[in-house]
Amino acid sequence: MRKKFLRGKWRTCVKLGRGRKSKQKYRKARGRHNKIREKKKGNPILVAIGFKKPKNQEKEARIIQNIQELESVKKGESVILAKIGQKSKLKIIERAREKEIKILNLNIKKFIKKVERKKKEKQMKMKGKEEKKAKEKKAKPKKEGEEKPKVTE
């Protein structure tokens, strides 16, 4: 179980977290004579090296930059997507679904919804432009005989 690190004097002040879990956030002790910073007995512990969470039993994830690198990953392993474009990211997601590979730094469902919404918006925008052009053509047919009047000064 992980240690819970709390701010100094949190028991005394309501605004620092007494009776309010949401306010119980850790802040590093920086005071000159601060007992927590000096690590005195009977005070909350100071965050330090050695209090880290236990590591998961999974192997370390590999960074994937393209589909070829994804092919070398085995079924059931986990990967991290590098900073890549939307089209290649979609291709990698599809392939990862087929191979049942977990992508750690991406919520696949949320990403696909976002991409589909963008596509719909783009299509609606293009459709609106086409309709606008069609209306302009119908409204103003060009006449050959008419000329613009010249302004003389």
In single-letter form, the type of residue at position 2 comes to R
Beta bridge partners of 78: 102
Q: In the prediction, which pLDDT does 67 show?
A: 92
Q: In the prediction, which pLDDT does 53 show?
A: 67
pTM reported for the whole predicted model: 0.49
The alpha carbon of residue 7 and the mean position of all alpha carbons in its chain are separated, in whole angstroms, by: 29
CB 26 within 8 A of CB 47: yes
Please name the residue that has the structure tokens 């191979």.
99
Q: In the prediction, which pLDDT does 143 show?
A: 60
CB 72 within 8 A of CB 79: no
Q: In the prediction, which pLDDT does 1 show?
A: 54
Four-point Cα dihedral 50, 56, 59, 61, nearest 10: -90
**Alpha carbon distances (Å) from 115 to 89, 104, 108, 111, 122:** 11, 19, 11, 6, 11
What does pLDDT average to in each consecutive run of 10 residues of the chain (153 residues)?
74 82 84 92 85 64 90 90 92 92 91 93 88 79 63 69
